[in-house]
Structure 1
Amino acid sequence: MWISTKLDQTSHIDQCFNELITECRLSAPGARLSYSIRNKLERLSKEERKVIVSRVKEGCTPLFVSCKKGNVEIVDYLITECHSDVEQKGVYEVPDDRSIHYVTPLWCAAVAGKLAVVKCLVKHGANVNSVSDTGSTPVRSACFMTHLDIVTYLVDNGANILKPNYNGGTCLINSVQSVPLCEFLLKHGADVNAQDIQFKTALHYAIQEHRFETTKLLLDNGADPYIKSRYGDDALQTACLKGATQIFEYLIKNVNYSRARIAEAYELMGSTFLDEHYDLQAALQNWRKALTIRIEDPTLSKPNNVVPKAAYLNAFEFETHEQLDNLSMDLDAMRIQSLIICERILGALHKDVIFRLMFRGAAYADGLQYQRCIDLWRYALDLRIQKDSLLHSETCFAAQALVRLYLDLQEKHSNGVLREELKFDDVFHTVKLLVEEFPKAMRLLKVRPIFKRQQDNFDKILKVLTHLFYVLNVIPKTMKQTEETKQLINAINLMNARNSCGDTLLHLVVSKANTMKSNTFIEDPHTVIFPDPRVCQLLLECDFNVDAFNNVGSTALHIACTRNNFNQDVVNHLLIYGTHIDRRNVSGQQPHKMLKSITESTVNPLKYMSLKCLAAHKISELHIPYIGQIPVSLEQFIAIH
């Protein structure tokens, strides 16, 4: 009887909760709970009501749902009559950017713009400085949504406008889209020069969003235009890179810049107009202004700090109006000039320089000018490695983009679509560039704790490398180039590079799972390349250990003997080079038994089992004691059988 009563009570509570959460979700803004559900709730004890309103469905409590919808009467009822916890967090999806946050009801109401609910929650003791999972306070997030009335109320009730989120974003940074909001924050003590994790101030964000009035307001209130972001961009440079013409003109008129700096600004602005807005006339206009400034003062000649290189067709930067006029009729030459200008002013390792190299290369690839793209992307990859190391996501992206370009060109050439041929030197030096960074990357991966993103990126680089092996193997080569390829692969072998699963490069080239996802530059995914018997044989010829095993004790043969990966030629190559066909992995799987389930297999296992193997297998099968009774060198041999 007691059990039955308990079950009935639980069922009743479940029913009440389901009715309550449904009504909260479906009720119109400004509505109150129906008499029916209030009657049911009020018949329950205080503890039972609290249990009901504390329950969560799809990440939200009834209170949280009501706060989001702005139903202030329901919110007040749930707190006063059902004792809802005003700090119990729920899941909130911001409508503008679809980001998901784990926040308090007050944060939810503040972002949703529900002032009446905000007032109700604060009246009932909600913490105005509580933080979300990203460290954002309700007032900071209300600033992002430009709810000035809510920001005002929260500040009046003790909200801290100086408290940033975990990325250093302040209320003022979040408010640059609203001049009145910025004025309010500045009057209430906001730090106009506070910097976030990227060392950017509110002024940086106002400029990059082309907020002219906000920019003037911030400068009038002491914003420092000389503060640089982590990328080295101050206010003027940000305006140039973002093409904020009105702000640019205001800065050079109202901030004390040298003539050399103004000349550089015009040059950079011209590059932005050409690269970002495809406006050749605006680019020429800005570059001519810069030339005029430099010609008027001979001490302001351009510093020749960009060495001519293949990526820029070994071009030099123009220095006179005549040279610029001669270039103006050649759009491609103008784009090269733009890249040279950006590198001279920003430095080769600036993120915008690398981005523009990748973007311009993509445009060449779209026009089937593959060699021009290769030259730019090889240079971009080199710069990315210098800037961020092999383990960075952007480095990984650049490497994947380049190898996919090689694959695409090779495929089109072999199918007769393009006459252009892939050059051995391009692929060879790409492999060399990556491999030279392996020792450093592998040292970093030994440091604990290992960051998952870095390990994942190294895994991707290993996949990139195997695809480069494939390309090197299929393109025509001289005898000298073939020997150079094998020497390089031998050097890689000595490093014993492995992915997070312990797989060697030999494991990867026999696995169908070794693929690369498509990227934004080359959309059509290539067919699966691996397993590839030719690359497998190449690695074996370069002395890769055929019996190397991964974290689960599987050799390359174990991988090759699965139904999904089976390729007869691959299996034959591995067996010819002496791999154990009867070696057990951690799961007890043996390749010769795995092959039995593959009807296409023509392998005769006995051909690859020695008497020594059979004896070891029998000792293991019969559980004959052998530890300490045979040479130590044989103990491991028996153990793997």
Structure 2
Amino acid sequence: MAENVADEVRGFNLRTGLSIYYLIKTNNLDGIRSHLDPLTLHDRQLIVCQIFFDKTLLGFACELGFRDIVKYLLDECEADISERYFHNTWLSSLRVSVNKLDFSILTFLIRRGACAADTRETIQCADYVLKNEYFSLYIILSTYTNAVESMKDIPRLPILNYLVASENVKHTEFYFRASASGEIDSIKTLLPDCINPRVSNDSEENALCLAILNGKKNAEHCLLNYRVFHLKDYVRALELCGAKFIVFQSKFEKGFQCWRKALRIRTENFFGVSDKFEKLQTRLGFEFRSEAELDLLKGHDADIYIQALIVFIRLLSPSGEPLRDAFVIVSQHPVFHNDFYRTIKILAVFEEFPHLPHYGRVSSLRKALEYFGMFLHRHFYCDPSDMGELSHKLKRLINSMKKFKWDELLSCQKEFYRIVYIRLLKRVLLFLTALSKFEQPIHDMVNCKYISDIMTWHSNPYPTTLLHISLDKRADVSVISFIVDCSDDVSCKDNLGNTPLHIVLFRPTDDPDLLRLINLLTDAGGNIYATNILGVSPFVMLKDKGIIKSC
């Protein structure tokens, strides 16, 4: 008799539970109440703890996202919140809601003690969220923190400790994303315990920079109000972001807004504005003292890019990728296409960078010269059969070589400047050689004044002259003769003290042009007694070659 009663109860529970399953599927809370409310709490518990189609009723309601039904099952039927069975896997209702990213039910379960009920399952949920890079982790953390404060009898779950200890957790990435997207609650949750708030990413951007670059004012204020960053940090971030807006995004107005704000903060707080060295010590980027000085840059794109690079040089790591990338972008920018002076100055700074592993054994000097070679080819390549284009490009090239600018550059005693100057002279010689192939005399195609202007640059700090280059490179005699005609002093010396006659006499005795070139130079006033830094004169070299009488 007792067995029959037990079978009837089990059958009733099974039928009622199956009815509840289908009522959950249709989100019919009233129908569920009509079945369960007349029963005792114990009977309701027996019914809702059953498993149908490999799911608990609570887990099924969580899967479908029906919060009112979840609430009814927990509050009025006392369903087991820690029950772990779902689709033949040991998943709790909490994990189901995490998988579905249902924040409403996730929050509700946490407040009902789901975390405290099963610590291990909660940690597995956090691990799942982290591996899949879901922001729901922030909801778990912030909501659970609030819940624990109001539930003193529930032990605190060490999710924060788990975050710090786990080797697979990249919580700084979430911090950066929260700052970039303006997730204030997430930032507040992570700041106290999880991360070093001043940490930077691979682009040398900290959380404050990311907030500025993405226009998240609320994140800026949050980070500043938490006193994670000081005013000097804020100024540094504004100046760096202003430069990034200009160089990497070509957003001049946004860049200037950042710089103006930084300048106002610096001025109002009296730091980094009185002395250049103080600016460097405080790691601030530019040197402007007022917004009026800053506004003078407007309309001068080249100067703006140069200033942005100065900011990068002061604020970024000298061996880092962001600084190298900035230099490459700026050096190839159209604004510098016809501006040798600024482009060369940019690449000269590039020369000073230590080379990184992915560049192999290529030195920074060589890399800078490679970029200059590309610049030179891009802007001064022309069809050698087009006489008009050759003449035009030669004139442009010589006009780009201003003496007062090269006096300043070469005075720096940088190897890069010396090599670049020599390469420019070689490019001039290349144009003259191409023009000499035409039937028309070079004198008719090239104004001698252009050549004579650069031929006067033969004293310190200039390393050599066009005449020296033409003789050393064995240019055609007609080209050398033209250069000699344009020269005021054919006894000019290079940085080793050699005159053009020295260069000619380095040739072997059987050179067919040797005597012709000696006569050309001596007839033009070449001094055979001028000595180089070794004290050797052309006269001595002529005697050694046995051709002194031929002069």
TM-score by length of 1: 0.36
TM-score by length of 2: 0.41
Query: Which one has the bigger helix percentage?
Result: 2
Which structure has the bigger radius of gyration? 2
